[in-house]
Amino acid sequence: MALKIVVTTGTGEGPSTMAAYDAALRNAGIWNYNLIYLSSMIPAGSTVERARFVSHSEDYGNRLYVVMARQEATEEGQEAWAALGWAQDEAGRGIFAEQFGRYKPRVQRELFASLETMIAARPAKFGAIQHEMTGITSQGRPVCAVVAAIFKSEGWE
């Protein structure tokens, strides 16, 4: 069965960095899960789709397998940027790269440089690099930006 990976984004603000992170996860649709971080490999036969992740109430507390970039900012005027980039071959195999930081141009530049280097080290012929990025500026309260690639939700039984 082919794997559909959903790339979702969210930003949030709160009275603490944890509250801002929770708000960003909520806005990305992934706040009621136990996040299991994966490295960066996309399995053969996969498709990657940009969309807000839709959670289901019966999935509350499930494991959610993700590749995720996260950045926080706490001081007024500070920016938080998070990005995921990916490329796939004709068989759907591919690679994700996460990047995060305070300055959008630098995050984007480093994301593409990382992916180009990672792709060049592999024998597969990858297609064009795709990416998704989000950011937020602190107005004096903590903020957080997240981009996550969702692989699978799984219960505990």
Q: What is the secondary structure of 43-109 as a DSSP string? A: PTT-EEEE------GGGTT-EEEEEEEEEEE-STT-EEEEEEEEEE-TTS-EEEEEEEES-HHHHHH
**CA 51, CA 156: separation in Å to the nearest integer?**
26
Instruction: Indicate the domain borders of the chain.
Output: 4-154
pLDDT at 1: 62
**CA 85, CA 76: separation in Å to the nearest integer?**
28
Condensed to tens digits (0 to 9), the pLDDT of residues 26-56 reads 999 999 999 999 999 999 999 999 999 988 8
For 4-154, CATH number?
Answer: 3.50.20.10
- pLDDT-derived band at 2, boundaries 50, 70, 90: confident
Q: What's the chain's average pLDDT?
A: 96
Q: Strand 47-50 and strand 4-13: pairing?
A: parallel
**Which amino acid makes up residue 116?**
E
**CA 17, CA 19: separation in Å to the nearest integer?**
5
pLDDT at residue 122 above 70? yes
Condensed to tens digits (0 to 9), the pLDDT of residues 140-157 reads 999 999 999 999 999 998
